[in-house]
Amino acid sequence: MEHRKIIIVGAGIAGLSAAIRLRSQGHQVHVYEANSYPGGKLTEFSAEGYRFDMGPSLFTLPKLIEELFELANKPIASYFKYRKKSTICHYFFDDGTTFSAPSDTEKFARSASKTFDVSEETMRNYLKNSQKKYEATASLFLEKSLHKLSTYLSKNMVKALLSIPYLNINSSLSEHNERVFKDPKLVQFYNRFATYNGSSPYQTPGIMSMIPHLEQSLGTYFPIGGMHKITECLYHLAKDLGVTFVFNTKVEEIETEGDRVLGIKTPEASIWADLVISNADVVPSYRKLLKKHKAPEKVLKQERSSSALIFYWGIKKQFQQLDLHNIFFSSDYKKEFDCIFEQKTISDDPTVYVNISSKEEANDAPEGCENWFTMINVPGNTGQNWDELIDRTRENVVRKLSKILGEDISKLITYESILDPKRIERKTQSHQGSLYGAASNSKFAAFLRHPNFSSSIENLYFCGGSVHPGGGIPLCLLSGKIVAEMISKNHS
């Protein structure tokens, strides 16, 4: 293979994944990052004795991390450790029902049957079907480019086509769940998996019922030291392999000559490269970095995924009924998603997710205290009055949690920081502050995402949550893999 000089714009998780793979192939890899730190949304901060992971808080598919260390021929134990959770999440419903979800599938089926109006057999069958859908489609839709002819001539495509009758692509996730379960609480339980790609369960297709397989059958894990350790381990691995990082440097333009990449332009200089990979959100990639080129407007104007409003709270108490992951459901799920995607506002009774890493890492909070990452799904930033929305929503969240937990939460908050869609957009350049790029509120969404390469500019590639295969840690890692394999094939 001819070794090339490759520049990656952005040090997010996908950029780190691509950098490690490409450096392992022998290429010169240089990563330019506008911030002073790597990881994009997957970062951390500390204040007043509390440590908070700022972004993604769920860790699944550790094999994707392990694969990078195997490829680099480095011992993962020297960089990164994690443990499997025996309890996935604690759930709290508006009517007082609580459910602690065991990671063991048989225990989960028995526990769900006791809590909800459902048989153990129905629960087992749902999870088996979830696994069946995942295994039939993952190697095609998640691990390969959907914009290359070779993908459609593969055995995996034949397998996927044979699976179409049971993939539920012509009904919504909610419609699928309503056919399976008669208990509305269980429908709501499984509808929430639409939020894993920032979509609405009332619009995203039923094939998304494969997502529970990742959590239930393949397991959820906790990185020792917190989620930010994922960023740290990949960054240090990349550096040890010889990847060059340039921080605090904003890329102003991806320079081209005709239909071919030349390199990048920073405030200080123009820097030549054989290939350029944009790990920036695809919208600012075109609007800011490729202004001389015609943008794919249909792709860029797709509906964006939901964003997040996060309250980082230092709580001067420990709650025994809570664990690492906790969900407090809204009383009207349909209304909540209508508010997000139709009205572009926030429901007065949102579903609240509380992540408490101090349950796993005692040093993440002062003694006798907890660090609450308190998040709700919200619309992207389209010019709303966020100050007013945040104030109103904070009151609603505090009231909801106080009612369910039986204690006035407002009196327990000793520290607070807030992250909203405007700040997410500003800090990460994610268009509208969306967490997953385009929404998946269509059965064609996977095919409409921007590809991992440019069809009009030679040697220009894309990775990250705003392009194929999507957002979230596992898909961003796979995005870097798709790009690296594509480059290996195109430049061998």
- pTM given for the model: 0.93
Please give the angle made by the CA atoms of 80, 81 and 86, to the nearest 5 degrees.
Answer: 145
Name residue 312's beta-bridge partners: 373, 417
| Fold of the domain spanning 47-62+85-103+219-224+306-435 | Polyamine Oxidase; Chain A, domain 2 (3.90.660)
Q: What is the mean pLDDT of residues 343-358?
A: 98
Mean pLDDT computed over every residue of the chain: 92
3-state DSSP call for residue 311?
strand
- The structure tokens 């994707």 sit at 64
DSSP alpha helix (H) spans, 217-326 = 228-241, 282-284, 297-300
Contact residues for 332 (Cβ-Cβ < 8 A; gap 6+): 347, 349
Q: Is 223 helix (H, G, I), strand (E, B) or coil?
A: strand
Q: Do residues 133 and 176 lie in contact, with contact meaning Cβ atoms separated by under 8 Å? A: no
Question: Is a pLDDT exceeding 80 seen at residue 350?
Answer: yes
Instruction: Over range 329-358, report the average pLDDT.
Output: 98
Give CA–CA dist 410/220, Å, rounded.
Answer: 31
Q: Are 227 and 235 in contact (CB under 8 A)?
A: no
- Is the pLDDT at 144 greater than 50, yes or no? yes
- Which of 408, 56, 431, 144 is closest to 281 using CA atoms? 431
The domain limits of the chain are: 5-36+247-302+440-490, 47-62+85-103+219-224+306-435, 107-216
CA distance 104 to 160: 28
Amino acid letter at 294? K
Residues 76-94: pLDDT tens digits? 999 999 999 999 999 999 9
Residue 26 falls in which region: left (phi positive, over 0), alpha (psi -120 to 50) or beta: left
CB proximity list for 355: less than 8 A, separation 6 or greater: 53, 57, 324, 325, 326, 372, 373, 375
DSSP-assigned beta bridge partners for residue 476: none
pLDDT tens digits, one per residue of 172-231 = 999 999 999 999 999 999 999 999 999 999 999 998 999 999 888 889 999 999 999 999
From CA 39, how far away is CA 109, in angstroms rounded? 37
Strand partners, 172: 205
Average pLDDT over residues 398-405: 98
The per-residue pLDDT for range 224-251, each reduced to its tens digit, is: 999 999 999 999 999 999 999 999 999 9
Q: How crowded is the C-beta side of 28, counted as CA atoms within 13 Å?
A: 6
- Average pLDDT over every residue of 396-414: 98
Express each pLDDT in 155-186 by its tens digit: 655 555 555 555 678 899 999 999 999 999 99
- For residue 120, pLDDT beyond 60: yes
What does the alpha-carbon distance between residue 208 and residue 196 come to, in Å, rounded to a whole number? 9
Q: Give the model's pLDDT for residue 152.
A: 46
Nearest partner of 356 among 43, 53, 39, 97, judged by Cα: 53
Q: Residue 89 forms beta bridges with which residues?
A: 101
Q: Which CATH architecture has domain 5-36+247-302+440-490?
A: 3-Layer(bba) Sandwich (3.50)
